[in-house]
A and B are shown apart, each in its own frame.
Chain A
Amino acid sequence: MKKYICLLLTVLLLAGLCGCDTADDRVTINVYNWGQYISEGDDGCIDVIALFEERYPNIRVNYVTFDSNETMYTKMAGGGITVDVIIPSDYMVGRLIEENMLLELDYNNIPNAQYIDSRFRNTDYDPENKYSIPYTWGTVGIIYNSNYVDEEDVTGWELLWNEKYADKILMFDNSRDAFGIAQNLLGYSINSTDPEELKACAEKLAEQRPVVQQYIMDQVFDLMENEEAWIAPYYAGDYLTMAEENEALCFYLPEDQGFNLFIDAMCIPTCAENKEAAETFINFLCEPEIAGGNMDWVCYGTPLTAAKEFMDPEVVNDPVSYPSEETLDRGTGYISLPRSTTRLMEELFMQVRNGIPVHLP
């Protein structure tokens, strides 16, 4: 008897496997985006993907997340996967363009691109807007917990090296952002290609390791909200999400040091299978009402002024999300670096993380 039950269950299982594809003639697009980076219907906000699938019933969205540009790149470069839409940051878009990993966009399918503010067009990484459409923008600053961190210590990036807060400091777990902070601290350009400067940054980062509690990306939310850590460099938009959970959290942009001003942009990689559906999805995300509703939850800056009228006025008027023009002038964007520099930076960052002596290969 047992045998027959087993057999029956096996048959049912196999039937289930076969059934998946035949019952569904929808087109599937694979969207590969940062974690916590699209409104999914929490906290009374809209569910972007559900709304999209409702409006375009013949397209199904398979949404997958990554936690840094580098992880995304490694996965894409490894091949063997199909991804239709990716949302990397500026310098990574530049790198993907250089390496011929992106498809040119067909603007006939993306009429909503007209709403993109001129400030976010013709950028350094994609001068002719051929391959990318901005999704969000923002700054990288220091998030700290005012219950534990003295205001007088909050002077600039050196806070992340302060031994007084050893084991309570978090640090970026990706080479570009980590080096960007060291470069801003040491007064170098964040787009430097000088190996000696990069080595000096790596030494600075190695010096920091003993006081760093963890190298993290998306885990920052839990750790900061629960006060397991007190100081972390992170993206301004995510600070707003955290501050909703813990009111003691503050955001600081160094006043006499530089910081990174970034744009994350939507692109279609060469491994895409459904380009048109991907463009439909991008177009949907550029629709002012959708973009506004989405940014209410994501809290990053929107490149669409038209979206602001659909947003919570409190977010639109928040100086952390939308800093003044003179503050923005202190920020610098990353540009795509030569392959050899990127490789060197990753190599040096691995040396820092792995605790081996910093050296130029």
Chain B
Amino acid sequence: MKKNKSVLLSAPYILWMVIFTLIPLCVVLYYALTDVETGAFSVKNMENLVLYLPAFWRSILYSLVSALICLVIGYPVAYYMAHCSPTAQKFLYMLVMLPMCMSFLLRTLAWVGLLQDTGIINNFLDMLGLPRLSLIRTPGAVILGMVYNYLPYMILPLYSIIVKIDHRLIEAAEDLGCNGVQVFARVVLPLSMPGILSGITMVFVPAVSTFYISNKLGSTDIVLIGDIIERQFKQGDNANMGAALSLLLMILVFVCTGIMNRFGGDEEGGVPV
């Protein structure tokens, strides 16, 4: 009886999933496997994917680097937040969330205004009599854009895990003669592993498929897979190739997160709680 009720309650969401996730996925698959001209079954799109592999690797590389930088920047912030007074925690939490209240496109455009050759930073340097720098349209600018936009997705899961770490475990470690570094490396870090993994996933997944950041902050040679997919649909009038690319991207994301989760599972198993 109770089981029936829970099925009934989850029905709306399951229905939603079927209509808006499962069926569209089938449509993507159908498009990927048909020819753009004739609509007949064809593996041509799949074969052509090989040509786009460099863009895939580039996207994965850029988003992994961004995720790692987010971790390096985000971990100390999350750690500090978790050890503040409850009022300060609330305030800091809000500060981290605040940029997310503004449109992602607008925030990226703001970086264009800052970084471009005639932008705020360069005009300021010029005013001081310093030489102008080429900041925009470099790999660094793209990674900066990704880190800036996705940093909150790293900090928040880290914070929510670190704040729950039982302080008595740290005290116990100290009592048993661990120094600060050892406490961190042997107790705090292993315990915050689930947060680190979900943070990396939360940054990596949107970054790998992003299409606006690289377009605005990157050069014409830094073409990421998200840009390509967007262009196939919007400009190229070739939804079939776009579908094939999306499919491959989805599989790659699944594989990447799968690897991370497995690695995470082992770690978690090794932590005695």
* A interface, CB within 8 angstroms of B: 68, 70-71, 73-74, 77, 167, 173-175, 209-210, 212-215, 226-228, 343, 346-347, 349-350, 353-357
Contacts and interface: CB of A to CB of B under 8 A. Distances in A.
Interface string B122-149: 0000000000001001000000000000
Contacts of B238: 346-347, 350
Contacts of A73: 237
B118 interface: yes
Most buried by A among B118, B137, B237: B237
A359 to B, nearest CB: 8
Nearest to A352: B220
A209 B55 CA distance: 16
14 contacts: A74-B234, A167-B137, A167-B219, A174-B235, A213-B137, A227-B118, A228-B116, A346-B237, A347-B238, A350-B235, A354-B52, A355-B223, A356-B51, A356-B52
B221 A346 contact: no
Contacts of B137: 167, 213
Nearest to A171: B220
A260 B36 CA distance: 30
B175 interface: no
Given A212-B220, A228-B117, A354-B55, A347 B234 contact: no
A228 B118 contact: yes
Nearest to B116: A228
A174 B54 CA distance: 24
Contacts of A356: 51-52, 54-55
Interface residues of B, number: 25
A354 B118 contact: no
Most buried by A among B228, B232, B236, B238: B236
Given A209-B221, A350-B232, 11 more contacts: A70-B235, A71-B234, A74-B233, A74-B237, A174-B235, A226-B118, A228-B118, A343-B37, A346-B237, A349-B236, A355-B220
Nearest to B134: A167
Most buried by B among A74, A227, A357: A74
B107 interface: no
Interface in B3-44: 36-37
B220 A350 contact: no
B220 A214 contact: yes
A74 B239 CA distance: 10
Contacts, number: 65
Contacts of A214: 220
Contacts of A77: 237
Nearest to A75: B234
Contacts of A226: 118
A209 B117 CA distance: 19
B118 A353 contact: no
B220 A346 contact: no
A347 B235 contact: no
B79 to A, nearest CB: 35
Contacts of B237: 70, 73-74, 77, 343, 346
B232 to A, nearest CB: 7
B205 to A, nearest CB: 22
B121 to A, nearest CB: 13
A354 B221 CA distance: 8
A350 B118 contact: no
Contacts of B117: 228
Contacts of B220: 209-210, 212-215, 355
A77 B221 CA distance: 31
A343 B36 CA distance: 10
Interface in B190-233: 219-221, 223, 227-228, 231-233
B249 to A, nearest CB: 14
